[in-house]
Structure 1
Amino acid sequence: MMMITDREAKGRGRASSRARLKLTGALLLLTVVFALLGGWQVQRLFWKLDLIARVEARVHAQPTPAPTRAEWNEISGEKDEYRRVTATGAFSHNKSVLVQAVTERGAGFWVLTPMLREDGSTVLINRGFVPSDRREVGDRAGGELAGNVTVTGLLRISEPGGAFLRSNDPAHDRWFSRDVVAIAAAKGLQDIAPYFIDADAAPNPGELPIGGLTIVRFRNSHLVYALTWFSLAIMSAAGAYLVYRQRIKAG
């Protein structure tokens, strides 16, 4: 039978005590980290709620004239996106692009058409949705408005690059996002606004394109994340207490 001396027993006891102390320290550190992360998520929650309230106010406000050339440098998504605006000018239908879309009406395309304004600048108008089987101009010719028109809608910020796993292909006129700069370059548009406008639900002749399908919705999971982090902090604190108490009992 193997005998354990008092010195060896004390040594093992001290090692076990140090291990428990280190584990307690690690758990306390995790408690602090998780609590900080929970606090950060609470801050994000209030920021998101404030953003939602501001956007809701913009969406339901009276429309104002779309920003002019002198205001373009001051536009930002945080303060301008989803503003209700109006724009007046003539459409250049021959330079329209179709951007793939999935809406409450199914799969199809957004029809983005340049509008030439009286000051010589151009703004892209998302005139609305057309189903896949009506993508050809001949199938929706009634909606090709001529002359000066006024459009009311929501100001939107450019969507560069493309969609998830799908890049815009200007060379083949395939578009997956409403990238103002890329569309302007592909269609030879000059002096173009750095935003586009989603037209409202005012009906077009021939009922196409269908406007007013913009979805204004923000994902807000910050409360769930905060509760998760705070729960982990409580569990870590409880674990630290239990380990430390065992260390005290062990002497």
Structure 2
Amino acid sequence: MNKPPTFVAPHRPLWRLLAVTLGGFVLIGVFLALGLWQVQRLAWKEALLARIEASQRSDPQPLPAPQDWPRVQRDTHEYQRLQLSGHFDHGRETRVQASTVLGTGWWVLTPLRTSDGRWVLVNRGFVDAEHRDPATRPEPQGEVTLLGLLRVTEPEGRLWQHNDPGTGRWYSRDVEGIAAAQQLPGEVAPFFVDASEGSEGQWPRAGLTILAFSNNHLMYALTWFALAAMVIGALVFVWRFERRRVPGAAAVEPDA
């Protein structure tokens, strides 16, 4: 009794197999790089959260001395609790566009002159459109002592909106740019301070600094590594499948 012929698929051209393999290696490299980047981000985020937690439990520190200003960095000093004293210069107030839990409006940045004659920009808090005009809100007079968080400058503006000192449009808290626009004389700290608290029920509303950050970097890293593993598995399958193919596209007649 004759058996039906068995058809064997031909080999694909070698260049196609090599192209698929090369593309797979590229994807594996990209996915592994993204996974490693997320691992680095995870370490950075955990260090940030630990630093914020430690800072919130510790006593406020004095304002860094001018000789220490060059060492103030985002990864070591941001969100450090500070206590500082001085006199506000309300005539040099700057408003920076902001979006907060209270809605859209502006941050009010007012230069504070310390007892040694140096300047520090203080973010006194958020105001809405109704309280944008300084005449609609109180202005602390005389020497003030306040608690706040050290924040690193935000130069130039946003990705799609650049600061325009000429028209007074500010989209980021650019210490150097604001100090130059307000013509602050003398030394200006290269960072600003977010006021932690203000008078209850009064504007500006302080204490809106975001201190809770999501930390999903481990999940993202595992996702990228899983995708790399899937591509590796797909390449192994393709190569094993190709090895089982018989050269040529012939119909093999079985013996009777």
**Taking structure 2 as the reference length, what is the TM-score of the superposition?**
0.83
Q: CA RMSD in A?
A: 2.4
Is 1:153 the counterpart of 2:143? The answer is no
- TM-aligned CA deviation for residue 79 of structure 1: 0.4
Moved over 4 A (4+): 12-15
Q: 1:203 to 1:41 in 2, by over 3 A?
A: same
Q: 1:202 to 1:60 in 2, by over 3 A?
A: farther
Whole-angstrom distance in 1 between the partners of 2:222 and 2:160: 32
Q: Which residue does the alignment assign to 1:166?
A: 161
Q: Which residue does the alignment assign to 1:9?
A: none
- 1:46-92: CA deviation from partner (whole Å, max 9, x where unpaired): 33222222222223421111112121111111101100001111111
Q: 1:26 to 1:211 in 2, by over 3 A?
A: closer
Is 1:98 the counterpart of 2:95? The answer is yes
Q: Which residue does the alignment assign to 1:194?
A: 190
Aligned residues: 237
- 1:74 pairs with 66, 71, 75, which one? 71
- TM-aligned CA deviation for residue 25 of structure 1: 6.0
Whole-angstrom distance in 2 between the partners of 1:217 and 1:57: 14
Q: 1:208 to 1:31 in 2, by over 3 A?
A: closer
Identical aligned pairs, as a percentage?
Answer: 43
The 3-state SS of whatever aligns with 1:166 is coil
Bigger share in helix: 1
Relative contact order higher in (CA < 8 Å, ≥ 6 apart): 2
- 1:104-138: CA deviation from partner (whole Å, max 9, x where unpaired): 11122111111111111010111111211111122
User: Is the 8 Å Cα contact of residues 24 and 241 (structure 1) preserved in structure 2?
Assistant: no
User: Is the 8 Å Cα contact of residues 25 and 240 (structure 1) preserved in structure 2?
Assistant: no
Whole-angstrom distance in 2 between the partners of 1:213 and 1:169: 25
User: Is the 8 Å Cα contact of residues 170 and 186 (structure 1) preserved in structure 2?
Assistant: yes
- TM-aligned CA deviation for residue 34 of structure 1: 3.1
Consecutive unaligned residues in structure 1, runs of 5 or more: 1-11
- 1:199-227: CA deviation from partner (whole Å, max 9, x where unpaired): 012316x7121110111244544223312
Is 1:228 the counterpart of 2:223? The answer is yes
Q: Which residue does the alignment assign to 1:214?
A: 209
Is 1:62 the counterpart of 2:63? The answer is no
Q: 1:29 to 1:124 in 2, by over 3 A?
A: closer
Structure 2 residue identity aligned to 1:93: H
The 3-state SS of whatever aligns with 2:166 is helix
- 1:16-42: CA deviation from partner (whole Å, max 9, x where unpaired): 466446644653564455345424422
Q: How does 1:103-182 map to 2 (within 5 A)?
A: 103-140=100-137, 143-182=138-177
Q: Which residue does the alignment assign to 1:4?
A: none
The 3-state SS of whatever aligns with 2:233 is helix
Consecutive unaligned residues in structure 2, runs of 5 or more: 1-8, 247-256
